[in-house]
Amino acid sequence: MGHRRFSVGISLIAVLLMALTPFTSRAQELPPHLIQTVTEQDIYEGMRSLGYLKTPLLDEEDCDGAYENVRDCIVRIQMGKAHGSGIVWDLTDERIVIVTNRHVLDYWKDENGYVHFPQGYDVDAGVIGVSEQYDIGFVGVDCGQFTYKELQEIRCARVDEDALAGLKQGDPIFLVDSGSMDSEEGYYKGTVRDAYRYIEDLDGYMVYGSCFARAGMSGGGTFDGRGHLIGMTTAGTLQNEFASVPVQHLQAAYEEVVSEGQ
């Protein structure tokens, strides 16, 4: 019995040695850990897919604070000496899609048209198309004109159709001006009178309210107090009235003009 226990003990030791030897050998043969590298393209694509390139929202209404969050999504569409405004609507692999008024693009010519971004970039662009139903058109900017580091600075407007539906008379809004060659960009605070009113002169339903508006603001953004894009500034009067194309019409035009053609 003593000999048998000894034999079993020897066998267990042998098994343990056999089990340990290959493990030690494999551990010695493993290559060193590789350090993973992340490119600027990886960072940009990750930020875009996670929604980090959309303008941030405030928890509470504050037009001054919201303006600081959204100012980078408003661009100037320059056409010779004339200019209008535009909103960065979508970011794709190949291009930056900008929405503006169709009547702004009536002045567009490829030979003297370009887009000025608030980050300081002046870049070539081209008209993608215009809506037959709404006073809406789209301009495309080739992403190849930017480095990926620069693309990380571009901001896309935050869209939520429910934000417009929830607006009531007297709620605060603000309009963003893209600026011109001679003046800095700015914004103007106002209030809603009607979130969805038919305006005969414009032949359509508009966001209607009280706010200062001036030439060159057509195609710019109309935002609520938290920073949601609720419409695109389209017209104004000397009585400080404004009318903006509602965000749901912008979405419908995008699907009509841009999405179907991709």
Helix or strand run (H / E) with residue 248: helix 247-257
The residue whose two tokens read 């608030």 is 118
How far is residue 85's CA from residue 187's CA, in Å, rounded to a whole number? Answer: 12
User: Is 35 contained in some domain?
Assistant: no
Number of domain units in the chain = 3
Listed as ranges, residues in the chain with pLDDT below 70 are 1-36, 179-185, 260-262
Residue 149: how many CB atoms within 10 A of its CB? 11
What backbone phi and psi angles, to 5 degrees, belong to 5?
-65, -40
pLDDT at residue number 168:
95
Full DSSP string of 77-98: EEETTEEEEEEEEEE-SSEEEE
User: Is 126 contained in some domain?
Assistant: yes
pLDDT at residue number 37:
81
Residue 62: how many CB atoms within 10 A of its CB? 15
Helix or strand run (H / E) with residue 49: helix 40-49
CATH of the domain at 179: 2.40.10.10
Alpha-carbon distance values, 127 to 97, 140, 173, 194 (Å): 10, 6, 29, 32
Last residue of a domain, one of 113, 139, 157: 157
> The whole model's pTM is what?
0.84
Last residue of a domain, one of 135, 157, 179: 157
User: Is 219 contained in some domain?
Assistant: yes
Rg (CA), the chain: 29
pLDDT at residue number 32:
63
User: Is 179 contained in some domain?
Assistant: yes
Q: Which residue segment(s) compose the domain that 228 sits in?
A: 161-252
| Whether 128 and 203 share a structural domain | no
pLDDT at residue number 178:
83
User: Is 45 contained in some domain?
Assistant: no
pLDDT at residue number 7:
40
Beta bridge partners of 137: 100, 130
Alpha-carbon distance values, 8 to 2, 17, 89 (Å): 10, 14, 76
How far is residue 146's CA from residue 185's CA, in Å, rounded to a whole number? Answer: 22
Dihedral of alpha carbons 162, 164, 170, 172, sign: positive
pLDDT in tens, 173-197: 999 988 654 555 588 999 999 999 9
| Whether 60 and 112 share a structural domain | yes
Last residue of a domain, one of 103, 128, 157: 157
User: Is 123 contained in some domain?
Assistant: yes
pLDDT at residue number 33:
60
| Whether 167 and 153 share a structural domain | no
* Nearest of 137, 133, 150, 130 to residue 98 by alpha carbon: 137
